[in-house]
Amino acid sequence: MDARRIVEKARAEGRKKLLEHEALDVVASFGIPVAPYGFARNEDEAVDIASRIGYPVVLKIVSPDISHKTDVGGVIVNLATDRDVREAYRKIMENVKARAPNARIEGVLVQKMAEPGAIEIIVGATRDAIFGPVIMFGLGGIFVEVLKDVSFRVAPVEPIDAEEMIREIRSFKILEGYRGLPPRDLEAVKDIIVKTSKLMLELEEVQDMDLNPIMLYEKGRGALVVDARIILR
């Protein structure tokens, strides 16, 4: 479905948070690379989608009331067989019922596991009342959460600005490669930052978005979004 229709549908249903697959559809429609996925309403559909996209896969809870899926036991990675998928489906439903008893459950996202060898990065955006869309970049995990090592630019972010954003974080050396780790695909990061800026300028209904994490591979091997959160105004 096209981005505007997804937003209208969410609005019509009184939802501010896009569902996981809706957010990924919107992101993909702006040309940002996302890991292959499908939305399943039950266990059988989950198995069908898994065999269609190919193992190994990840299962993730889809609920309008849950933003941090891991916190409620709503993400299980590395599933290699139909049987793993069925078990994980039941386990996720059990976890969510125990830890978020009031959450409405739509189903699960079945997503292809990203290849190993990536480091996790984050691109985010928020619509500021004064500055308009502001785009954020940082490395995943403790780099953002503990060290607050991030960079910001007001949209429109052009490729040259994106390049500066990437280079100005304190942990940039990690992206250049060190201690036997390879240099990363910075062109792919620039492209995602620029496209995120375009998305925020064109889709005015979006208040906040987070691509967290984006799997970033070595130079020439690209980057892949595995989680997208989009909140409407």
Judged by CB under 6 A, does residue 100 bind ligand ADP? no
Q: What string of DSSP letters covers 123-140?
A: EEEEEETTTEEEEEEEES
Beta carbon of residue 212, minimum distance to Mg ion (angstroms, whole number): 4
151-156's contacts with Cβ under 8 Å and 24+ in sequence apart are 153/197, 154/128, 155/125, 155/197, 155/200, 155/201, 156/197, 156/198, 156/201
Beta carbon of residue 228, minimum distance to Mg ion (angstroms, whole number): 8
Beta carbon of residue 92, minimum distance to ligand ADP (angstroms, whole number): 12
Using CA atoms, how far residue 2 sits from 30, 108, 109, 192, in Å, is 10, 21, 19, 19
- One-letter amino acid of 119: I
**Contact region for ligand ADP (CB under 6 A) — 62-70, 131-139, 144-152, 174-182?**
62-70
Q: How many residues bind ligand ADP (CB under 6 A)?
A: 15
Give the per-residue contact string, 169-208, with ligand ADP (x = CB under 6 A; - = no): ----------------------------------------
Among 19, 24, 35, 186, indicate the residue that binds ligand ADP (CB under 6 A).
35
